[in-house]
Amino acid sequence: MNNKIIKVLSPATVANVACGFDVLGFALNDINDELVMRIIPKRGVTIINKDDFNLPVEPKQNVIGISLLALLEEIEDEIGFEVKSTKHIRPGSGIGSSAASAAGAVFGANHLLNNRFTNDDLIRFAMQGEELASGAKHADNIAPCIYGGFTLIRSNDPLDIIPIPAPFLYVTIIHPQIEIKTSDARSVLKRQVLLADAVKQWGNVGGLIAGLMKNDYELISRSLVDNIVEPIRSILIPCFDEVKSKSLAAGALGGGISGSGPSMFMISKDQKMALEIEKIAKKVYEKIGLPCHTYVTNLNKRGVQIQEMNELIQNENALL
């Protein structure tokens, strides 16, 4: 049995990316959850929370637990995992909190197992966590979390993930301090869409992918439009239209709701613009007295990262 202790840094992600509901996502730098993991000599998962979110520690009720149980089902070894979780990504914020936990845990477990599984296997396991968190097995946060960069989920079943090369982009994340559960934000959506709206939407998805691959910022900008989901979900986010229209007027390439919200993302070509948009958003929320957290960061091209702890250190508590 491997007695390594590892630290996993699992990044926040932006899913949907305006036009790509459930099929597009990208990873963010600077915002990570941390998991300290090791193998234990009995089957099962032990979860220890090192933050104040009070998430359940019963493995079947925790996205880390359920994803690791799915992985354990596919190995015969009499082992399990202990996970100490420190979340910095607030649950219900819209930047892939549950995906960071689920994807980080299975990625870390795979490292401890000397990489027995492929990335797509790991995505399959972590999708169990997403189902627990939101009622739907969407992979648009998990895939970029694991692969880094932009990813296209061409198909969920069978899984078909395509990493998309992208230029360097700056991102402003604007998180008004309300909570929106992904399950609620999914339940308000219409089951059917008009053909005319669908035509515009798949034009934009194709345009966004082409723009990213050609480093064509104008095309990226024209394609960051969502005719189907944003008009419905944006009603749940105070001042969404004002923040978006002021950001676009100031020079953002585009943006929209991050995942199922309430966070918004705005993409810029340079850091100066991304910082300008942060100021604009803060001013809007100050005016209505709603606290708002912001991040200015950029595209994370590496995905989940592992740091190996010194195997000789016996008391891992001293490391936390």
Active site residues: 130, 182
Q: Which is nearer to ligand HSE, 189 or 199 (CB)?
A: 189
Residues binding ligand HSE (CB under 6 A): 15-16, 21-22, 138, 140-141, 182, 185-186, 259-260
Q: Which is nearer to ligand HSE, 143 or 280 (CB)?
A: 143
Q: Which is nearer to ligand HSE, 19 or 306 (CB)?
A: 19
Q: Which is nearer to ligand HSE, 34 or 140 (CB)?
A: 140
Contacts of 48 (CB under 8 A, 6+ apart): 57, 82, 83, 84, 85
Q: Which is nearer to ligand HSE, 26 or 81 (CB)?
A: 26
CB of 23 to ligand HSE, least distance (A): 8
CB of 232 to ligand HSE, least distance (A): 11
CB of 255 to ligand HSE, least distance (A): 15
